[in-house]
Structure 1
Amino acid sequence: MTPGGVLRPPPGARCLRALVVDDSGASRAGLARILGEAEGFVVVGAARDGEEALRDALRLRPDVIVLDLQLPRMDGFTFLRLLMDRCPTPVIVVSARAGRSDVFKALELGALDFVAKPEAGGVAAIRGALLEKCAIVRALRLEDPPPARPLPPGRVASAAAQATLRVVLLGASTGGPRAIPSLLAAIPGDLPLGIVVAQHMPARFTAAFAERIGRRTPFSAQEAAEGDLVAPGRVLVAPGGHHLELRRDGEGALRAAILPRGASRREAGHCPSVDRLFASGARVLGARACAVVLTGMGQDGRSGVIEVKRAGGLALAESAETAVVYGMPRAAADTGAVDAVLGLPALADAIVRFAREP
């Protein structure tokens, strides 16, 4: 890591060749300046519209493309469709708040990840996030995640299941916005199973992410709020910029506790924190917790899986076979506390078995 927290390329690594696509001259110049001045990058092109961007991408074959979605002549979605068909290339979307729902459409079309563009001021404020996302290209697996399988038959959850509710705790970073809906789409929605998600994502995108999960899976889904009930068939997504932990209320019901960054001493790392979600699940669920570490860079989730395993729960990690970035899952697996390292289809099967245990 550099002093500013940006990933440093390994010694001897070649520079990543970047193409910047933005219709705003100021944003285009600012993004190109950020990449051009950073160690390990070289800007090979800057395009102002989708048609120019596609020509440049096919001619220059960059390692990474930084893309604004609102473009003249050919919009960012059409550009992505054509690019992924003709020359699949890692794309980092830089999106303003007004386009937050469009971000997930871009992810469905093949974009790797996104950075929230500042609502006011220049793009200099996103320097660290942009460089970190672009640098992840060095660790990429470019294959698409496997398609969701048909839903297997499941049993209907009864009222009695609430007392012995099992909960799956999902943690992810880069690649998670595609992996999580794919995983959950392969799990029956009528199991006696609650699902809680900690996805590294900016604050103003997590509500739209939850809506997308609800549209693409058999579960209802929402951005978690203080006191929300963890219930069968429901997905709670940690709000960006806040930690999500689980607690029991006075009647023993399992509820969400939303804590701001800085709410405790355990403050190093990402917010929302996968480790903090897992640790709280271990405390209140014991053997009825299943922690799953999905694709992402870094080590968030590493200490959490240890606590889940010590409490008698199940710990799983995504394998390199399907993970876009095999960083977080590898760190979890290296602890020795993970019960199995599996691709997305096998993870879905393992979760179904966990939910159906007596």
Structure 2
Amino acid sequence: MSASTSGGPTRAVVVDDSRFMRTLIRTLLEDGDVDVVAEASNGREAISVVGEHRPDVVTMDIEMPEMNGLDAVEGIMNECPTPVLMLSAHAEADADVTFEALDRGAVDFVTKPGGEVTSGMPRVKRELVEKIQSAAAVDLDATRGRSRPPTADTNRRTTPDTAPSASSKTDLPEEGSTIIIGASTGGPNVVERVLASLPVDAGLRVVVVQHMPKGFTKRFAERLDARCAYDVREAEDGERIAPGQIRIAPGGSHLLVTADRAGRLALELSDDEPLHGVKPAIDLTMASAAEVVESPLAGVLLTGMGRDGVEGMSRIDRAGGHTVAQNEETSAIFGMPKRAIEAGCVDTVAPDGRITDETLRGITT
């Protein structure tokens, strides 16, 4: 059963302008032991209903009359801060709006139930309820009030003002050092801040596994590319990854790091079954990197619920790599990092603003 902070079932408010969709979501949630305490048909009504009922979590549609979901998220965060889970359509056009909702304070998103409901009801219900549980567990104090990093000039070189303190010209990691970053709920904005602060002169190879549905990771990569001085793209099967490149694991595929006979790193997509209920799985990417990467290697595990990444961090640690976990105070959900720390495979625990420094420090030669 999904539990609220008061010890009872998780209490949710469902916001959607479609009566059919509100009824469907209510049914799915109540079948998963989530208590739907109220509904709203537009953003303005949502702000009022959330203030009245004080739920643990809100499911929020994007396109609604009178006030859309973006403005409603902002209003809720200003008047009655509550974790908001966005319901986004599969369409790529919705991806940009969804990321904007995360910027305004939403904690996560899930694809809105559609035509697959009749054929895949158990899967749809499980995904929605799990996302509700995860969103309800978010520590808003750890996520609010953080500014987005400035858009990066992709031609810039690092300067004393832009480079992390650990990465002065004489202390840069060896070119071609590899970093594997794993994140889940609350991760996109943290990933953005970490990548935006990587020094260009380091020539790093970075692989990011962010739990995210298929259809959104390409837009996530494009968004990061506009805010980072590295070349950021969604990973493709069989491509080599070179210094100065960041690749994002595609939603719906596992991503493995491999090496050819010359020792050059490449990326391989796998259609294996989900691991820990997720695809891509952080564990698989980290474990594969630990097997083949011979240059300095670091694993970074950020905010998220569950234990994905724990085994991967252990593999990197055993292979002699450096491991960094986000601390509790700045994690939206201190689940994955906590389990890795408890497993004894983390070298450094750091707040999100120090993740880059501590990662670079561990792979500096």
The two structures have a TM-score, normalised by structure 1, of 0.88
Q: 1:173 maps to what in 2?
A: 184
Aligned match for 1:278, one of 257, 275, 286: 286
Hey, what's the Cα distance between the residues in 1 that align with 2:63 and 2:260? 46
Q: Cα offset for 1:249?
A: 2.2
1:109 partnered with 2:104? yes
Distance 1:52 1:12, change over 3 A: closer
Q: 1:52 maps to what in 2?
A: 45
Distance 1:95 1:288, change over 3 A: same
Distance 1:89 1:267, change over 3 A: closer
Q: Cα offset for 1:268?
A: 5.5
1:184 partnered with 2:189? no
Hey, what's the Cα distance between the residues in 1 that align with 2:246 and 2:67? 36
Hey, what's the Cα distance between the residues in 2 that align with 1:33 and 1:20? 11
Deviations 1:64-98 (A, max 9, x none): 11001011111111111222122211000111112
Q: 1:331 maps to what in 2?
A: 339
Deviations 1:135-192 (A, max 9, x none): 1245321122644676227678xxxx6xx51011001111111211122222223322
1:130 partnered with 2:138? no
Q: 1:253 maps to what in 2?
A: 264
Deviations 1:34-58 (A, max 9, x none): 223332x221211111221122122
Q: 2:23 maps to what in 1?
A: 29
Percent identity between the two aligned chains: 35
Aligned match for 1:15, one of 9, 15, 18: 9
Aligned match for 2:238, one of 224, 227, 230: 227
Residue 237 of structure 2 aligns to a residue whose secondary structure is: coil
Q: Cα offset for 1:328?
A: 0.4
Kept in 2, the 8 Å contact 1:248–1:255? The answer is yes
Residues 72-87 of structure 1: pairs in structure 2 closer than 5 A: 72-87=65-80
The two structures have a TM-score, normalised by structure 2, of 0.87
RMSD over aligned CA atoms reads 2.5
Hey, what's the Cα distance between the residues in 2 that align with 1:49 and 1:270? 32
Distance 1:87 1:179, change over 3 A: same
Distance 1:347 1:106, change over 3 A: same
Q: Cα offset for 1:9?
A: 3.4
Hey, what's the Cα distance between the residues in 2 that align with 1:81 and 1:22? 16
Distance 1:268 1:353, change over 3 A: closer
Hey, what's the Cα distance between the residues in 2 that align with 1:152 and 1:8? 43
Q: 1:43 maps to what in 2?
A: 36
Hey, what's the Cα distance between the residues in 2 that align with 1:189 and 1:79? 38
Q: 2:301 maps to what in 1?
A: 293
Kept in 2, the 8 Å contact 1:148–1:186? The answer is no
Residue 323 of structure 2 aligns to a residue whose secondary structure is: strand
Distance 1:138 1:113, change over 3 A: closer
Q: 1:66 maps to what in 2?
A: 59
Residue 205 of structure 2 aligns to a residue whose secondary structure is: strand
Q: Cα offset for 1:229?
A: 2.2
Hey, what's the Cα distance between the residues in 2 that align with 1:258 and 1:175? 25
Distance 1:86 1:34, change over 3 A: same
Aligned match for 1:239, one of 250, 259, 269: 250
Q: 1:3 maps to what in 2?
A: none
Residue 246 of structure 1 aligns to a residue whose secondary structure is: strand
Aligned match for 1:322, one of 314, 327, 330: 330
Deviations 1:227-277 (A, max 9, x none): 222222221011111111111124322111111124xxx955422111111
1:96 partnered with 2:89? yes
Distance 1:301 1:286, change over 3 A: farther
Q: 1:139 maps to what in 2?
A: 137
Counterpart residue type for residue 8 of structure 2: R
Give 5+ residue unaligned stretches, structure 2.
150-160
> How many residue pairs end up in the alignment?
343
Residue 280 of structure 1 aligns to a residue whose secondary structure is: helix
Kept in 1, the 8 Å contact 2:2–2:10? The answer is no
